[in-house]
Amino acid sequence: MQNQADRYKSGVMPYAKMGYWDADYVPKDTDVIAVFRISPQDGVDPIEAAAAVAGESSTATWTVVWTDRLTACESYRAKAYCVDPVPGSPGQYFSYIAYDLDLFEEGSIANLTASIIGNVFGFKPLKALRLEDMRIPVAYLKTFQGPPTGIVVERERLDKFGRPLLGATTKPKLGLSGKNYGRVVYEALKGGLDFVKDDENINSQPFMHWRDRFLYCMEAVNKASAATGEIKGHYLNVTAGTMEDMYERAEFAKQLGSCIVMIDLVIGYTAIQSMSKWARRNDMLLHLHRAGHSTYTRQKTHGVSFRVITKWMRMAGVDHIHAGTIVGKLEGDPNIIKGIYSCCRDSFTKKNLEQGIFFDQDWAGLRKIMPVASGGIHAGQMHQLISYLGEDVVLQFGGGTIGHPMGIQAGATANRVALEVMIKARNEGRDIWNEGPQILAEAAKWCSPLNAALQTWKDVTFNYASTDTADFVPTPTAA
Amino acid sequence: MRITQGTFSFLPDLTDAEIRAQIQYALAQGWAISVEFTDDPHPRNCFWEMWGNPMFDLKDAAAAMQEVLACRKAHAGIYVRVNAFDATQGFETTRLSFIVNRPKNEPGFALARQEADGRNIRYTIESYAAKAPEGRRYE
């Protein structure tokens, strides 16, 4: 480093020279680490670009300020310490940046993100910028509550073990009256689903006021529970325009005996953390619908990867998060989705570049999120879903339940039978990946709803190339 | 009605060979088998009666099967389930639980509705069978 007088002389100086680049820096165990994909403008040195990102996401401004010398600025400066070219993508670089723990307020996703993604994404010297992954130190994780319930306690409350949970989203997503809506919920739950779900944009519209929906849905839930002897639930979406409205809706859901409420990602990080604390205080499962995420997670060059959002949501504290299906209608490369599921369910996530995981991550006992697979999946894919996603997952068949030719109950039964028969076969040691279709066909002989489901949807696949793929391996797309 | 608690209730009742295969799977995962029974199958009755402690040291599916058969013989007319417990840190919970015996007739549950203030309804699920004293519910 140059002498201090030169360093703090008024004027403009490259960020790398201001102390935001240090190739010899060894991150501390307590540092927050971020890896960004940077695409510098033509002619901009990648190291200077990385240093600029470090600077703008921590203490720097565009020019030298003498007031730095009133602070322990050397430790508050984020340090870019490594810049690697992205394999196969000229002009893109992975840059690793370490942040001192004291830069962040305890238990605040809003504060963490205001630094890490607050300012830098519009920075002119970069064409594009993407936050790929983060390593959150144990010291910081321990300041977050995490999921109010977690996978283990959710299963114990529901008394459901050994298989994925089954859900469906009520369709059509808009326009049903409360009574008609409750009918769909009852039929699906009685037929064999564990949960039914409000969609992200069902709040309180002219065709169905929220109280009406809550009342009819809880009639459906309780009636189905009595009919089957099982605990059932419906994710009542409490998303609203203000926190006061959300609390009012959540309190009403509790008063009616619901075991779960739901929020949308668009309510914002602070609102999510508030609802998480409410859910912990009130023994409530908290379902998060990731409404809006694809606006910034899908494209590889710019935005924030969904695995980072998942990590933030595990810290903020949600019990369910939509995390991809691989085989369904929405974006999902198999490797990337597996990485995201690991961030939900692991106690310790190992570095795995093929799955987009850049760091070892000790989760420090933070409870686990139940991932939710939803969007264009059906009973005929059961062997693929279980093989890819495992058993701690909610499989949601909306159209695949409600669109069944023999009715909603039959649609639910088809999914439940397909699920149980596949878990049973897997446990018996059968190779479900290859024998799956045959296992389903055998069950369809004694289960006519399953037979009808297989006939109706046998050829439905969404076989498109993924956009959010791993950089370190060839990326197949599931059939 | 048919109570559909447990991992495999939508399938035809498991044969002894199929039960044994599931036990074999659970033991291969390092889980401990336990057997429980009840004549109060309310969905929120999480504490069924224990047929002895979980068999933490038992690694032989045939021996576990003997306990299943013994419990089923002693409680032929009521519900019996097999659980597999995982003591791994981060789980420390049941990983598999399925019914292996059920009464011939399952009368099911009534849904009692108490009309409360406004349009609120307070729901209670009541087992028809459990109205009789314990031990005389499925005679």
**Residue B50 sits at the chain A interface (C-beta within 8 Å):** no
Interface touch B94/A161, C-beta < 8 Å: yes
**Residue B34 sits at the chain A interface (C-beta within 8 Å):** no
Provide the annotated active-site residues of A: 171, 289
The residue assigned the tokens 């369709």 is A171
The domain limits of chain B are: 16-106
Kindly state the average pLDDT of the residues A455-479: 72
- Chain A positions in Cβ-Cβ contact with residue B3 (cut-off 8 Å): 228-230
Partner B, chain A 334-363, Cβ-Cβ below 8 Å: 347
Query: Radius of gyration (Cα) for chain A, nearest Å?
Result: 24
- Interface probe, candidates B11, B24, B100, chain A, greatest A C-beta count within 10 A: B11
Q: Considering chain A, what is the average pLDDT of its residues?
A: 94
Out of A61-75, A147-161, A182-196, pick the least confident: A61-75
**Residue B20 sits at the chain A interface (C-beta within 8 Å):** no
pLDDT at A478 > cutoff 80: no
- Chain A positions in Cβ-Cβ contact with residue B11 (cut-off 8 Å): 417, 420-421, 424
pLDDT tier at A255 (50, 70, 90 boundaries)? very high
* Dist. CA A256–CA A215, nearest whole Å: 8
What is the reported pLDDT for A479? 46
Compare all CA atoms of chain B with the CA of A415 and give the residue at the minimum distance. Answer: B10
Cα angle value A396/A398/A400 (rounded, 5°): 95
Kindly state the average pLDDT of the residues A402-408: 95
* Dist. CA A224–CA A189, nearest whole Å: 6
**Residue B47 sits at the chain A interface (C-beta within 8 Å):** no
Residue A172: is the preceding peptide bond cis (ω within 30°)?
A: yes
Task: Kindly list the distances between the CA atom of residue A261 and the CA atoms of A151, A200, A223, A239, in Å, as whole numbers in the listed order.
Answer: 16, 12, 19, 10
Out of A224-233, A325-334, A341-350, A411-420, pick the least confident: A325-334
- Interface probe, candidates A159, A161, A413, chain B, greatest B C-beta count within 10 A: A161
Interface touch B1/A229, C-beta < 8 Å: yes
Distance between A439 CA and the closest CA of chain B, angstroms:
13
CB A410 within 8 A of CB A449: yes
CB A151 within 8 A of CB A368: yes
What is the reported pLDDT for A474? 56
Q: pLDDT per residue over B89-134, tens digit each?
A: 999 999 999 999 999 999 999 999 999 999 999 999 999 999 999 9
Distance between B84 CA and the closest CA of chain A, angstroms:
9
Interface touch A231/B43, C-beta < 8 Å: yes
Query: Radius of gyration (Cα) for chain B, nearest Å?
Result: 17
**Residue B5 sits at the chain A interface (C-beta within 8 Å):** yes
Partner A, chain B 77-96, Cβ-Cβ below 8 Å: 83-84, 89-96
pLDDT at A339 > cutoff 80: yes
Q: Which residues pair with B101 in a beta bridge?
A: B80
pLDDT at A6 > cutoff 60: yes
Q: Put residue A292 in one of left, alpha, beta given phi > 0 → left and psi -120 to 50 → alpha.
A: left
Q: pLDDT per residue over B25-54, tens digit each?
A: 999 999 999 999 999 999 999 999 999 999
Interface touch B25/A429, C-beta < 8 Å: yes
pLDDT at A198 > cutoff 50: yes
- Interface probe, candidates A151, A194, A209, A222, chain B, greatest B C-beta count within 10 A: A222
pLDDT tier at A476 (50, 70, 90 boundaries)? low
Task: Kindly list the distances between the CA atom of residue B69 and the CA atoms of A123, B74, B96, B100, in Å, as whole numbers in the listed order.
Answer: 71, 9, 18, 10
Architecture per CATH, B16-106: 2-Layer Sandwich (3.30)
Q: pLDDT per residue over A360-386, tens digit each?
A: 999 999 999 999 998 888 999 999 999
The answer to ipTM > 0.90 is yes
What is the reported pLDDT for A61? 84
Decide the pairing of beta strands A361-362 and A348-349. antiparallel
Kindly state the average pLDDT of the residues A195-217: 96
pLDDT at A464 > cutoff 90: no
Compare all CA atoms of chain B with the CA of A392 and give the residue at the minimum distance. Answer: B95
pLDDT at A286 > cutoff 60: yes
pLDDT at A282 > cutoff 90: yes
Distance between B90 CA and the closest CA of chain A, angstroms:
7
